[in-house]
Amino acid sequence: MREQENSYFQQFDIEAFLQLSVSQGISDVHLRINAPPMVRKDGIMMKTKLAPLTAEDMNQVIEKIVPQEVRAKISTNYDVDFSIEMPGVSRFRANILHDLGKIGMVLRVVPFEVPSIEALSLPPILKNFTGLNNGLILVTGPTGSGKSTTLASILDYLNQKYQKHIISLEDPIEFIHTNKKCIFTQRQLGIDTDSFPNGLKYALRQDPDIILIGEMRDRETISSALKAAETGHLVFSTLHTTDAVQTINRIINAFEPHEREPIRLQIAATLQGTIAQKLVKRADNKGRIPATELLVVTPAVRDYIARDEIEKIYELVKAGDYNGMMSMNISLLRLVQTGLITQETALQSSDTPTEMEILLKGAYHGVNNS
């Protein structure tokens, strides 16, 4: 945040603060009692120059921006998720937490407009997933890697191209989709349904073509998602994993040992693709851009999953460019080649920097463009 903070606020005004944060490209706002507000921009946490918040400040924040039905939960729940909208400013995904017995809050900026696949510089092949009639597609990555935004952009592309019924189950709802060619039914946990498994059970009775599950958090949700994908629906969801192999193993290991073989066979039959992403610094210092590992499930991939030879999928991803597959290092290399990131950023962002360095040397013959 900039120098204008001190003159902008004589008393802490959460609405003005959020408006200023959005205008300065802040992604997250952190509020704690006895500490000045902190913000995150381009992945970096920054302390503002505002005075520490008092308990009264926090009470006024809650009074001003937290919906009444959410306020009622604060005294009986340690953590509460919700979303809010400030007209003309932005939507926000929010979490109320307790820290050393005191209330705190974190808000993430969610734009009104759903960004396009092109605007996010995502691989165009993601559009191919939207033409599928059934199966499971997973967007994965660490917290704050843009998974929800990527999913929203894919659904928005669907909305422009196909006539479908899309049901989303989210906690909370982030992007609001308006009906274009598709009909959207957006359901929020705690308001429109009580859990992901129950929401999925009833979604199957609501004539869906496509189902979005905000996150596959537990084995019951995973089982329900696999069942939906098996019964002729296209299912999208997210996991906090960093690559395709880890994603498949995470799903399998959510179950007891005696359950894992049938689950693995279900995955082999239903998985259509995984998109693992991380956000990396742009070369022009104008924010961050996603780098993506892309797994397209081919007969060979299905065979490896079914035979419990999942580690071999790594080699297919590395060699699978003709199928549209792409390793994280190849994604980083392409971002370097198009001038969107520097070689230094590619090396810092790679999980296998030695391999990344070899790729860069092969592409540039030792020329340094970082």
pLDDT for 57-107, tens place per residue? Answer: 999 999 999 999 999 899 888 899 999 999 999 999 999 999 999 999 999
Which residues of the chain does CATH 3.30.450.90 include? Answer: 4-110
Find the mean pLDDT for residues 193-204. 95
| C-beta separation of 288 from 278 below 8 A | no
pLDDT band at 364 (very low <50, low <70, confident <90, very high): confident
| C-beta separation of 323 from 297 below 8 A | no
Residue type, 310: I
pLDDT band at 365 (very low <50, low <70, confident <90, very high): low
Please give the pLDDT value at position 369.
47
> In the structure encoding, which two tokens stand for residue 44, read together?
């970096």
Please give the pLDDT value at position 216.
95
> In the structure encoding, which two tokens stand for residue 155, read together?
């659904």
Residue 108 to residue 42: CA distance in whole angstroms: 13
Find the mean pLDDT for residues 119-136. 96
Find the mean pLDDT for residues 195-221. 96
State which CATH number among 3.40.50.720, 2.70.98.90, 3.30.450.90, 3.40.50.300 fits the domain covering 4-110: 3.30.450.90
> In the structure encoding, which two tokens stand for residue 158, read together?
């669907």
Please give the pLDDT value at position 7.
42
Residue 296 to residue 81: CA distance in whole angstroms: 33
Find the mean pLDDT for residues 293-298. 97
Find the mean pLDDT for residues 226-253. 97
Please give the pLDDT value at position 132.
98
Residue 316 to residue 323: CA distance in whole angstroms: 10
| C-beta separation of 280 from 332 below 8 A | yes
Please give the pLDDT value at position 9.
47
Please give the pLDDT value at position 102.
94
Please give the pLDDT value at position 278.
98
Residue 298 has pLDDT above 90, yes or no: yes
Residue 340 has pLDDT above 70, yes or no: yes
Residue 230 has pLDDT above 60, yes or no: yes
Residue 321 has pLDDT above 80, yes or no: no
HEC assignment per residue over the chain: CCCHHHHHCCCCCHHHHHHHHHHCCCCEEEEEECCCCEEEECCEEEECCCCCECHHHHHHHHHHHCCHHHHHHHCCCCCEEEEEEECCCEEEEEEEEEECCEEEEEEEEECCCCCCCCCCCCCCCHHHHCCCCCEEEEEECCCCCCHHHHHHHHHHHHHHHCCCEEEEEECCCCCCCCCCCCEEEEEEECCCECCHHHHHHHHCCCCCCEEEECCCCCHHHHHHHHHHHHCCCEEEEEECCCCHHHHHHHHHHCCCHHHHHHHHHHHHHHEEEEEEEEEEECCCCCCEEEEEEEEECCHHHHHHHHCCCHHHHHHHHHHCHHHCCECHHHHHHHHHHCCCCCHHHHHHHCCCHHHHHHHHHHHHCCCCCC
Which residues of the chain does CATH 3.40.50.300 include? Answer: 126-326
Find the mean pLDDT for residues 331-360. 97
- The percentage of the chain sitting over the pLDDT mark of 90, rounded to a whole number, equals 91
Find the mean pLDDT for residues 144-151. 96
Find the mean pLDDT for residues 278-289. 95
- The percentage of the chain sitting over the pLDDT mark of 70, rounded to a whole number, equals 96
Average pLDDT, the chain: 94
The Cα diameter of the chain in Å comes to 65
Query: Which of 46, 73, 49 has its CA nearest to residue 62?
Result: 73
> In the structure encoding, which two tokens stand for residue 14, read together?
């959460």
Query: Which of 131, 150, 135 has its CA nearest to residue 275?
Result: 150
Please give the pLDDT value at position 5.
47
Q: Is the peptide bond before 172 cis (omega within 30 degrees of 0)?
A: yes
Please give the pLDDT value at position 3.
47
Q: Tell me yes or no: is domain 126-326 CATH 3.40.50.880.
A: no
Residue 145 to residue 349: CA distance in whole angstroms: 13
Please give the pLDDT value at position 10.
56
Residue 8 to residue 12: CA distance in whole angstroms: 9
Q: Which residue has the tokens 């006539």?
A: 163
Sign of the torsion angle spanned by Cα atoms 298, 304, 307, 311: negative
Residue 12 to residue 45: CA distance in whole angstroms: 20
